[in-house]
């Protein structure tokens, strides 16, 4: 019968409308809230229900090879930064956004000052490739908006971010092996 296609279209939209409410009820208490940094939604598309991600409350996990800002890693045994201030990353950086100063000789050498200008960084990962000690890594952190132009991050901050953001375990860095 001519015109039944209209009813079919109406049924499709109605099913979608009802589907959003059904999924809302199913995950009722966790609709707007998340605990900590863990996302409640997987980025896979849903067949039914809303696909919106309520951004400040819900976050999409970044994929493993995402290039965020630079972070420093700790030696898991001693808890000290692995960096020996060799300066390879400083030399590899095409934008000159890394500045390293260190003291000591050989294995005792430690960085005294490590400045990373995230505002100039292009996330090319050259520094990570060049590091002989696997001391630095690119994080999956992406909320870089800030209220002032002071975008130079120092060593404690990089270490703190490294503790928080890098989920990969020791020896399982991407792109190596």
Partner 1 sequence: MENIWTIENLWNAIGTVLRNWLAGFLPAWLVTLIMDLLVIVVLLAIGIVAVLVLSFMERKVAARAGDRYGPNRWGPYGLLQPFADAIKMLIKEDIIPHVADRFSFNLAPVIVTVGAVMTYAVLPFGRDMVAANLNIGILYFAAVGSLSIIGLLTAGWGSRNKYALISAFRAVAQLITYEVPVGLCIICVVMLAGSLSTQDIVLAQQERGWFFLLMPGIFILYFLAASAEMIRCPFDLLEADSEIIAGHFIEYSGMKFALFFLAEYIHLFAGSAMMVTLFFGGWLGPWLPSWLWFLIKTFVVIFVFMWIRNTFPRIRIDQVLKIGWKVMVPAGLVGLAITGFVDKLIADKLIAGVVLFICNIGLIIGVSYLMGRAQRRKEMAAEGAALR
Task: Please report whether residue 12 would count as binding partner 1 according to CB under 8 A.
Answer: yes
User: Least separation, in Å, of the C-beta of 150 and partner 1?
Assistant: 30
Please identify, using beta-carbon distances, which residue of 57 and 103 lies nearer to partner 1: 57
Task: Please report whether residue 29 would count as binding partner 1 according to CB under 8 A.
Answer: no
Task: Please report whether residue 20 would count as binding partner 1 according to CB under 8 A.
Answer: yes
The neighbour count for residue 111, using CB atoms within 10 Å, is 19
DSSP 56: T
Helix then strand then coil, in percent of the chain rounded to 5, is 30, 15, 60
The rounded distance, in Å, linking the Cα atoms of 41 and 87 is: 41
Q: Which of 101, 143, 86, 135 is nearest to 118 (CA)?
A: 143
Q: Which of 30, 37, 46, 120 binds partner 1 (CB under 8 A)?
A: 46
User: Least separation, in Å, of the C-beta of 62 and partner 1?
Assistant: 23
Task: Please report whether residue 21 would count as binding partner 1 according to CB under 8 A.
Answer: yes
User: Least separation, in Å, of the C-beta of 6 and partner 1?
Assistant: 7
The rounded distance, in Å, linking the Cα atoms of 174 and 87 is: 22
User: Least separation, in Å, of the C-beta of 43 and partner 1?
Assistant: 15
Stretch that binds partner 1, among 17-25, 70-78, 102-110, 119-127 (CB under 8 A): 17-25
State both tokens at 19.
Answer: 């589907």
Strand partners, 102: 111
Question: Cα 99–127–93 angle (5° rounding)?
Answer: 55
Residues that bind partner 1 (CB under 8 A): 1-3, 6, 9-10, 12-14, 16-17, 19-21, 46, 49-52, 54
């Amino acid at each position: 019968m001519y015109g039944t296609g209209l009813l079919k279209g109406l049924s499709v939209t109605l099913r979608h409308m009802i589907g959003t409410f059904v999924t809302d009820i199913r995950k009722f208490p966790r609709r707007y809230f998340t605990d900590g940094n863990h996302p409640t939604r997987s980025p896979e598309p849903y067949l039914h229900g809303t696909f919106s991600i309520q951004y400040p409350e819900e976050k999409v996990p970044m994929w493993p090879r995402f290039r965020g800002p630079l972070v420093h890693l700790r030696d898991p045994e001693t808890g000290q930064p692995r960096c020996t201030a060799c300066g390879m990353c400083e030399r590899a950086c095409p934008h000159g956004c890394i500045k390293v100063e260190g003291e000591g000789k050989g294995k005792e050498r430690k960085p005294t000052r490590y400045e990373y200008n995230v505002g100039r960084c292009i996330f090319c990962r050259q520094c990570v490739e060049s590091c002989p000690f696997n001391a630095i890594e690119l994080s999956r952190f992406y909320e870089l908006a800030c209220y002032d132009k002071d975008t130079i991050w120092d060593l404690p901050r990089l270490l703190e971010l490294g503790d928080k953001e890098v989920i990969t375990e020791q020896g399982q860095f991407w792109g190596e092996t």
